[in-house]
Amino acid sequence: MRRIKTVSLQEGMVVSEDVKNIDNMLLIPSGCILTARQIGILQAWGVDNIEVKFNGEPDKVDKLDTMPADALERLTSEVRASFWKADDADPVFAELFKVILRRRANRPVAN
């Protein structure tokens, strides 16, 4: 999957991640095959670039989904230790926590 500028999009490309506007409204769902009309919608909404899937590329696997439970628990506690007075009820914090957790999980292992 690659991030492509909307001016370089072509009909027939497959969207690999949901495309949303700044209000979090879904513009184009993941897996959609782009049409000229949809490319125009993206440009009208000011979307700069999107993730597209090219032929033969495997689907991206999220390591959090395949990580053993004990390793995920360890990683979660390591990331949680980075925060002071974290509010799990705050949706902004919850999303930020997920992003950091995912980045840490996908970080290459040092030898």
pLDDT tens-digit readout, 4-51:
898 989 998 899 888 988 888 889 998 889 999 999 999 998 898 999
User: Which of the listed CATH numbers 3.90.105.10, 2.60.40.420, 2.40.30.10, 3.40.50.10470 matches domain 2-53?
Assistant: 3.90.105.10
pTM score: 0.49
- Extents of the domains making up the chain: 2-53, 63-106
Closest CA to 43 of 23, 21, 13: 21
**pLDDT (tens digit per residue) in 59-84:** 556 677 777 889 889 988 988 888 88
Spell out the long-range contacts of 104-109 with Cβ–Cβ below 8 A and sequence spacing 24 or more.
104/75, 104/78, 104/79, 105/62, 105/63, 105/64, 105/67, 105/72, 105/75, 106/62, 106/63
